[in-house]
Amino acid sequence: MRLKNKTAFVTGATSGIGRVTARIFAEEGAEVVLAGRRKSEGEAVAQEIRQAGGQAIFIQLDVTQPDQVEAAIAQSVRTFGKLDVIFNNAGGSSVKDGKVTDIEIQEFWNAIQLNLFGTFLCCRFGIPELIKAGGGSVINNGSYVALHGLGLDAYTASKGGVLAMTRSMAVEFAEKKIRVNAIAPAVVGTERIVERVKVDPLGTKAFAIQRLGLIPPEEAAYAALFFASDESRTTTGQTLYLNGGG
């Protein structure tokens, strides 16, 4: 029960890494707020957690919308009384991404808004609640592309911003006992990624350089669990690179 008596807010929790992480956090004793855009999928995961004896609610949320993020954080605190952990997992890339000289300008802003601005908003409204709770942990989901160039210039820029902001926030909030860390997974074997690799040459290239194969979503979730737990209470400003052997 590594997260006993903690409340965790997980974005992008309706599928992939977010869904697996929410389940593992609950198994480890946390009260979990699952946030995401797909209501039926999110409600189903929350119900699974409750049926297994855990505590969880689902809040429909678009992390790019400030009013929605502020309301979701407030609802989380009303429900469970406090907030201890934020896992900024929501994000993604598009098959339209590519070279800066080729992609549409809006493609760049879409990536920045979802990956970087969404993380910013959850921190903006969530960190004050962590401070009220006496301290806590923010975990940001970056990407291996921010550390190992592979293309996808818009997505790479947005995730590079996430990792830079992670380091900056770690300094800004350390005196408030808030630690801010990131995970940077290579290609994770989620349903979406497995399907994309079949049709996307870049995805195939990424998979080919991972000598240990696709990363199981559980591995990314356990990395987030380490940063969420008190085992990392003196660690901040760090990025854990899950490279798949690439």
CB atoms within 10 A of CB 177: 15
Helices assigned H by DSSP within the chain:
16-27, 39-51, 66-80, 105-111, 118-132, 153-173, 191-199, 201-208, 217-228
Mean pLDDT value across the chain: 92
Q: How far apart, in whole angstroms, are the C-alpha atoms of residue 162 and residue 182?
A: 8
Residue 32 token pair: 């979990």
Q: State yes or no: is 155 an active-site residue.
A: yes
Which candidate in 144, 155, 222, 241 is catalytic? 155
- What's the rounded mean pLDDT across residues 143-153? 87
Grade residue 187 by pLDDT with cuts at 50, 70 and 90: confident
Element spanning 29, H or E:
none
Distance separating alpha carbons of residues 202 and 210, to the nearest angstrom: 13
What pLDDT was estimated at residue 215?
78
Tens of pLDDT, residue by residue over 14-30, are 999 999 999 999 999 99
pLDDT band at 31 (very low <50, low <70, confident <90, very high): very high
196 has pLDDT over 90? no
pLDDT of residue 190: 61
CB-CB contact of 72 with 59 (8 Å):
yes
Mean pLDDT of 233-245: 91
Res 204 pLDDT > 70 = no
The reported pLDDT for the residue numbered 29 is: 98
Is residue 119 over pLDDT 60? yes
